[in-house]
Structure 1
Amino acid sequence: MKQLYEARYNPETEDWDISPIETEDPVSTMRTIRQTAIANFRTMISIRLNPSTTIYIKSVDNKVIIRCHDWLFISEAGSKRIYFYTSSKPKDALGGILWLINAFKNSTIKSIAKLMEAM
């Protein structure tokens, strides 16, 4: 069974602190975390990258959320958090998620720039 984890970026160490989230129902807990994070989605720009991945951007608050099937990235008020499931080593899973986030960031910025040029 997959375990639910929270990773918080620590700017002092420039690394991620990973801790398990103790819960009887990881799926329900993740659903609650997602719903809470995107509660203000109507005031955000949303970009659907594929059927399972959406990026929400609220530039006024410098808030970015990347919602994926089995992980969630939240950047707001100078803090960065990632919630994710894994049945393997959490550090390895986090490395893969961070790689995807960087790829999404680069492709999204390019897509928005092309769209703005077309306008």
Structure 2
Amino acid sequence: MSVLPPFDFSWRILSLQHALITTVIPDKPFVLEASLRNASPWNIEIAYAKPVLGPGVDFLDGKSDPQLTNVCLQSSEVATGVQVLIVLDNNANTDFVNLGHYVARWRR
């Protein structure tokens, strides 16, 4: 018996001009683009999907914007959320910053 994953998750880090970037600079805003693709043959409902930010990372305006809530995806459809984030300067002495993780609550 094979098991199908309910969705695929992908993300990109972009500049404010939507160019792909590989380095995040403290106190310089950047865009987190997160996409969920329905990988199953059945519809799935995304109750919510949101980033949970790591220490020293914040939303540019200080609050989360829940973009992916109560979204129904048919097979192979994609839903994408975009957040503008900033790494606070107090993390400037570290080589790596934990941006956090992404949480998705869903059902078939």
Superposition TM-score, scaled by structure 1 size: 0.27
Q: Which has the higher contact order (CA 8 A, sep 6+)?
A: 2
Decide which structure has greater helix share: 1
Which of the pair has more CA radius of gyration? 2
Relative to its length, the structure with more strand (as a share) is 2
TM-score by length of 2: 0.28
